[in-house]
Amino acid sequence: MVTLNETEQLVLLSVARLGTDAYGVTVRREIAHRIGRPVSITAVYAALDRMERRGLARSWLSDPTPERGGRARKQFELTPAGADALVAQQRAMGRMWEGVDLGAYGVEG
């Protein structure tokens, strides 16, 4: 089973959520929006590079943006192996949460 750290999991989930609009800046924005805290663009790109090396994501260069001197973006998509890793991670966390009651600590579920 492929294991993912928190940043890798957040990045892959964002790539899956964004579909054809997944590139570093949009992934970073999606994570910040969903979890309510910022994440550095360096951490996002490092995770994307790791995920690509591990075969969990793939990248390609987009066409240049339309403005003069526009640059191509390195866009990402989830691979089947990446989707499998996310499902495995979700199942593992679900098993860990089974039967946990944090009420004794004053936490409401």
**CATH assignment of the domain containing 30:** 1.10.10.10
- For the chain (109 residues), the mean pLDDT of every run of 10, in chain order, is 92 96 96 96 97 97 78 93 96 94 85
So what's the pLDDT on residue 57? 98
Query: Is 85 among the domain residues?
Result: yes
So what's the pLDDT on residue 109? 62
Rounded to two decimals, the pTM is 0.87
Query: Is 101 among the domain residues?
Result: no
* Total domain count, the chain: 1
Report DSSP letters for 53-89, one per residue. Answer: HTTSEEEEEPPPPSSTT----EEEEE-HHHHHHHHHH
Tell me which amino acid residue 35 is.
Answer: I
Query: Is 56 among the domain residues?
Result: yes
So what's the pLDDT on residue 86? 97
Cα–Cα dist 17/98, whole Å: 26
Query: Is 30 among the domain residues?
Result: yes
Query: Is 102 among the domain residues?
Result: no
* Residue 49 lies in domain: 6-91
